Amino acid sequence: MNHTQSHKLFEKACRLIPGGVNSPVRAFKSVKNKPVYIVEGSGSVITDVDSNQYIDFCSSWGPLVLGHNDPDVRKALNNAAEKGLSFGTCSPYEVEMAELLKKLVPNAEMFRMVNSGTEAVMTALRMARGFTGKKYIIKFDGCYHGHSDSLLVNAGSGLLTNSVSSSAGVTEKQTAEVMSLQYGNAESIQKAFEKYPDDIAAVIIEPVAGNMGLVKPEKTFLELLRKLCTEHSSCLIFDEVITGFRFHAGAYADIAGITPDIFTFGKIIGAGMPIGAVAASEKIASCLAPLGNVYQAGTLSGNPAALAAGIAGLKKLEQLNPYPEMTRLAGIFADEVNKFAAENNIPAICVQERGVFTLFFKEGGKPENLNDVQKCNTDTFADYHNYMLEHGFYIPPSQFELNFVSAAHTEKDIRSAAECAVNFLKTLK
């Protein structure tokens, strides 16, 4: 493929934007390449400035469950935008979205709209501390909950991709009240509650980890978190920025059969528009201003255009229910790749959960935690990423991210991607 225009844009961007990108995960640094610049998306296909087309498995990092530029979402967005882009006031869309979320997430009672998943998590932690009167937060190694200061401890996503376990500019004092434990390790969480039985405000977790690649905990581990939080009057927070509405038209908590005290949602509920939400029981949510003394605000929170797009997207997902087919298609990719890798003794394994998957390049089977994930051969992944890109498949430029199947992907898309991945594996024999 010819990438002349993309490379020219990146050179110019590097003179104007730190690293040439507005989010580190786009940088292609870990795959030893330069980013391509996308100008159009339709269905499962994206097109770059050099007119190269790719079958896309990044899906704007997850929210485009319906595929790119869905006509119903676009229509709703355009209709709202014609009336105004922002008012800074209350709008009917806020009430409609809250009613819709209440229907689809019945274990939550009240919803506060924000502008991103990061904002939702910041609000959730403040709510938990304000509601419980306690100070400590427990998170898990390799889970990423946005870039707020206190949670940049052993975090995943871009921090993991760029080999940074934390961040400069974050002081020890800011992280002193956050404990990061091994994902899925029951003993460590039990010991933490034994040591601080009355001081843990919240445990926050990705119920399916998606920021160190796809890592699935045992259901018994999530059940243990629920039990410990209940016994110690701590809040259990499910960060569902990735999992919410990605596996079914609702929260992953419904699938797990476990009810957290607080949910956080992100761009999926906006069909890809900048948006987020924090959800909880009325008792917990009422601690937020103006009802309570936990302050949170946002001039653009509840933006009418973003809400209009999100409402249309969620209603269509509920009606269409593309999830079983997305699961089937992701399974085809995983099965084809795993079969070839196993038969040829190639150190690679594709882990799949419903409509998402990660191809890990490692020995010893699927990873269970961050320590396992860090044994991956990132050089091999870089070669894999660039091979797929040059053959017309856009996957996230990091070993430690998810690939997303959308309702717009066809079986032909998936089988051709699997064939391409197998062809790459052949080069490793």
Angstrom distance (rounded) from CA 200 to CA 129: 9
Per the listing, tokens 């997902």 go with 317
User: Which listed residue (139, 267, 362, 366) is catalytic?
Assistant: 267
Q: Which residues pair with 114 in a beta bridge?
A: 276
In degrees, to the nearest 5, what angle opens at C-alpha 250 toward C-alphas 244 and 254? Answer: 95
Length of the chain: 429
Which residue type does 40 have?
Answer: E
Angstrom distance (rounded) from CA 31 to CA 399: 9
Q: What is the DSSP letter of 294?
A: B
Long-range CB pairs of 339-345, under 8 A, 24+ apart, other chains included:
340/422, 340/425, 340/426, 341/425, 344/425, 344/429
Is 383 catalytic? The answer is no
Alpha helices in 183-218 (DSSP H): 186-195
User: Which listed residue (239, 261, 372, 413) is catalytic?
Assistant: 239
Nearest to 244 by CA among 306, 323, 344: 323
Angstrom distance (rounded) from CA 367 to CA 385: 20
Is 34 catalytic? The answer is no
Angstrom distance (rounded) from CA 172 to CA 176: 6
Q: What is the DSSP letter of 54?
A: E
User: Which listed residue (54, 136, 144, 323) is catalytic?
Assistant: 144
Is 199 catalytic? The answer is no
Burial 47-85 (b: 16+ CB within 10 A, else e): bbbbebebbbbbbbbbbbbbbbbbebbeebbeebeeeee
Query: Is the C-alpha dihedral spanning 21, 24, 26, 31 positive or negative?
Result: positive
Angstrom distance (rounded) from CA 179 to CA 410: 43
Positions annotated as catalytic residues are 144, 239, 267
